[in-house]
Amino acid sequence: MNIVVCVKQVPDTTEVKLDPKTNTLIRKGVPSIINPDDKSGIESALRLKEKVGGEVTLLSMGPPQAEVALREGLAMGADKAILLSDRAFGGADTWATSSTLAAALKKLDYDVIIAGRQAIDGDTAQVGPQIAEHLEIPQVSYAEEINVEEGKVVVKRQFEDRYHIVEVNTPCLITSLSELAEPRYMSVKGTFDAYREKDVKVWGLDEIEDTVDKMNLGLKGSPTRVKKSFTKQAKGAGELLDDVTAEEAVEAIVTKLREKHII
């Protein structure tokens, strides 16, 4: 079974802080990581490979430095990696990103595509389903478990209040939750092999020209654009209620909870 895992390199947003003086993001020193949902997708692909054989290929779109994320995936045990990197792909929204990735996937031999549910920098959860649509294959998103039974892929699909145990024929696309599989560490051997024995292929526009309409790529191919971005208003000093009865206190809390749509 050949599996392609879509991987995004993201800034570790838990390490991002706001500069209290300028109220802007401090990006300096924020490490780049494999998006957590994608990393569990890699783990899950490796487990499937260990069970049923086949090859795991990583596919990413990003700037040249995203190569490091792919090397990390290779060090975990993936076999091949492709980085889509070209100025023509830059500034893409989810629609254009999924068009680009789908164009590359059309050139690959896959049974299952695994994409992380969402990236922690954008949190859109759109690219996976959009790739599936471009490729006209079924999708199962929010996967908490993936198994292969007699050539069919069986997925435990998470909803807020329930699970669906679904089976789907290949080829298909699955979006993985970070709880799908605790990612293994790279091995020491893996980190050295990732550079000395394995390769990250870089594909530009030339490599996918025949499987995509150029009008669907990059900024030009993006239906949406960011009009503006801003940081949230810094927290003002809170309210302190001294000398209130318990009832008054309860009322004040309930009012706040209602305002915040918590109740």
* Residue of 20, 21, 29, 246 that binds another protein (CB under 8 A): 246
Q: Which residue number, 206 or 232, has a Cβ lying nearer to another protein?
A: 232
Q: Which residue number, 196 or 206, has a Cβ lying nearer to another protein?
A: 196
Q: Which of residues 42-61 bind another protein (CB under 8 A)?
A: none
8 Å CB contact between 4 and 105: yes
Among candidates 86, 108, 35, 93, which has minimal Cα distance to 226?
93
Q: Which of residues 159-218 bind another protein (CB under 8 A)?
A: 159-169, 185-196
Residue 65 as a binder of another protein (CB under 8 A): the answer is no
* Residue of 47, 90, 91, 95 that binds another protein (CB under 8 A): 95
Q: Which residue number, 110 or 142, has a Cβ lying nearer to another protein?
A: 142
Q: Which of residues 8-27 bind another protein (CB under 8 A)?
A: 11, 13-14, 16, 18, 25
Size of the site for another protein (CB under 8 A): 92
Provide the residue type at 88 as one letter: A
Q: How far is CA 171 from CA 16, 76, 177, 250, in A?
A: 38, 24, 20, 56
**What 3-state class would DSSP assign to 115?**
strand
**Span near another protein by CB under 8 A; candidates 49-57, 77-85, 108-116, 136-144:** 136-144
Torsional class of 143: left (φ above 0), alpha (ψ -120 to 50), beta (otherwise):
beta
**Span near another protein by CB under 8 A; candidates 52-60, 83-91, 92-100, 199-207:** 92-100
The nearest distance, CB 186 to another protein, in angstroms, is 4
* Residue of 50, 123, 199, 209 that binds another protein (CB under 8 A): 123
Q: How far is CA 143 from CA 169, 192, 204, in A?
A: 15, 32, 31
How many other C-beta atoms lie within 10 A of the C-beta of residue 119?
A: 22
**What 3-state class would DSSP assign to 219?**
coil
* Residue of 20, 29, 53, 238 that binds another protein (CB under 8 A): 238
> Rounded to a whole number, what is the distance in angstroms from the first to the last CA of the chain?
48
Q: How far is CA 25 from CA 14, 40, 226, 228, in A?
A: 12, 28, 17, 15
Q: Which residue number, 51 or 231, has a Cβ lying nearer to another protein?
A: 231
With b meaning 16 or more CB within 10 Å and e meaning fewer, what string describes 82-96? Answer: bbbbbebbeebbbbb
8 Å CB contact between 86 and 205: yes
Residue 127 as a binder of another protein (CB under 8 A): the answer is yes
* Residue of 42, 88, 120, 143 that binds another protein (CB under 8 A): 120
* Residue of 28, 150, 206, 232 that binds another protein (CB under 8 A): 232
Q: Which residue number, 48 or 102, has a Cβ lying nearer to another protein?
A: 102
Tokens of 243: 């000398």
* Residue of 36, 116, 129, 218 that binds another protein (CB under 8 A): 129
Residues written for the chain: 263
**Span near another protein by CB under 8 A; candidates 40-48, 57-65, 77-85, 234-242:** 234-242
